Amino acid sequence: MATNTTAEAFSVNNVTNFLGKTVIIVRTKLIPPLIEVIIVFVIVYLFLRLVKSILSRLQRREILPSVLSERIYKLIALITYVTTAIIIVYMFTSAPAVIYTLVALLIVVFLSNWNIIADISAYYVMLISKQSFRGASLIELPRLGIKGKIIETSPLYTRIRTLSGKIVFIPNHIMVSEPVTQLTSIQSVVTLEVEVNKPEIERGSPIEYIEKAIRTILAESRLATRPQDVVITVLSASSDRIKLEVRIPTMGAEPRPATVNAIIDNLYRGLAELSPAIRFKPVI
């Protein structure tokens, strides 16, 4: 009976000692770092709230555009989170080598993606720069031989629709380093495939007759910027039908659907006696 009582007392003492040591460990080893982590997160939260408040105030005063304000906040938040992660790792380890290794890895990652960093940096320069880099701007990059309209600017590249209708992607660091000319007006080309009956004329060439008729129609409709610059190419000619490609210069970085429809409608009416078949040829 005494032996059982002693064993039970020993077991209770073991549990008590274990719980006591656990409480001491939690109190001395876990709670202080946990409190420090919570304090760090609170500081980060308050800092980002302050940054957001300042940027919002600058945006309301029209000092910063909304897009730039949002991008600056995201960049500051990213830097803050990375710094916070390094601080927390340092708090839970006493080996500086771990921190040095982490920082070295980050540097290697940044250097291996230098072009990406350059593009992102150039993106922010473009946001606060002159109007040339804004969406829907008509620009020319003389050294690259590119002329067209900016349709999108992302953190890595700028999309431009050229006069031929093609989409080109220009890295942002090239956009910043290259000379850029902003255009007030620009021309695009409407390409049509026109097939008509061979005209019955007593004198002259049927093809020249059709070309003259097309130029006259376009000049009278005033839909071409310069009727004399209209380019007409013969695609095929048979005994009864003639197929032509007509390239018509119009205003704008890209032809508007209303302009294309108006040109086609005028050609249909002007060439009605030749039973025209007209097809718009989009640039691929």
CATH code assigned at 192: 3.30.70.260
Q: What angle do CA 223, 227, 233 make, to 5 degrees?
A: 110
User: Residue 84: its pLDDT value, please?
Assistant: 80
Is residue 268 assigned to a domain?
A: yes
Residue 89 has pLDDT above 80, yes or no: no
What three-state secondary structure class fits 207?
A: helix
First-last CA distance in the chain:
98
Residue 2 has pLDDT above 50, yes or no: no
Whether 155 and 195 map to the same domain: the answer is: no
Residue 57 has pLDDT above 50, yes or no: yes
Lowest-confidence pick of 36-45, 83-92, 125-134, 229-238:
125-134
Is residue 120 assigned to a domain?
A: no
Q: What is the mean pLDDT of residues 75-95?
A: 75
Between the ranges 91-100, 162-171, 215-224, 231-240, where is the mean pLDDT highest?
231-240
Query: Can you tell me the distance from the alpha carbon of 86 to that of 33, in angstroms, rounded to the nearest whole number?
Result: 15
Q: Which of 140, 167, 182 is the last residue of a domain?
A: 182
Is residue 270 assigned to a domain?
A: yes
Burial string for 150-165 (b: 16+ CB within 10 Å, else e) reads beebebbbbbbbbbeb
Whether 87 and 175 map to the same domain: the answer is: no
Is residue 117 assigned to a domain?
A: no
Whether 138 and 202 map to the same domain: the answer is: no
Q: What is the mean pLDDT of residues 29-52?
A: 81
Is residue 191 assigned to a domain?
A: yes
User: Residue 28: its pLDDT value, please?
Assistant: 61
Is residue 121 assigned to a domain?
A: no
DSSP element (H, E) containing 49: helix 31-60
Whether 100 and 153 map to the same domain: the answer is: no
- Structure-token match 């205003």, residue found: 251
How many CA atoms, within 13 angstroms, populate the side-chain half-sphere of residue 263? 30
Whether 167 and 195 map to the same domain: the answer is: no
Whether 55 and 22 map to the same domain: the answer is: yes
User: Domain count of the chain?
Assistant: 3
Place 96 in a pLDDT band, splitting at 50, 70 and 90.
low
Q: Which of 138, 153, 182 is the last residue of a domain?
A: 182
**What is the chain's mean pLDDT, rounded?**
77
Whether 178 and 191 map to the same domain: the answer is: no
- Please choose, from the candidates 113, 135, 134, 115, the residue with its C-alpha nearest in 3D space to the C-alpha of residue 177: 115
Q: CATH no. for residue 151?
A: 2.30.30.60
Residue 254 has pLDDT above 70, yes or no: no
Q: In which domain, by residue range, is 140 found?
A: 129-182
Residue 136 has pLDDT above 60, yes or no: no
Q: What is the pLDDT of residues 180-215, one digit of tens each?
A: 777 766 667 888 999 999 888 878 888 888 898 988
Is residue 90 assigned to a domain?
A: yes
List, in order, residues 6 or more apart from 89 with CB less than 8 Å away.
Answer: 98, 99, 102
pTM: 0.41
Q: What is the mean pLDDT of residues 65-75?
A: 73
Between the ranges 21-35, 107-121, 256-270, where is the mean pLDDT highest?
256-270
Place 50 in a pLDDT band, splitting at 50, 70 and 90.
very high
- Please choose, from the candidates 145, 144, 170, the residue with its C-alpha nearest in 3D space to the C-alpha of residue 158: 170
Q: What is the mean pLDDT of residues 78-86?
A: 79
Is residue 210 assigned to a domain?
A: yes
Query: Can you tell me the distance from the alpha carbon of 193 to that of 156, in angstroms, rounded to the nearest whole number?
Result: 38
DSSP helix, strand, coil percent of the chain (3-state; round to 5): 60, 20, 20
Q: What is the mean pLDDT of residues 251-267?
A: 80
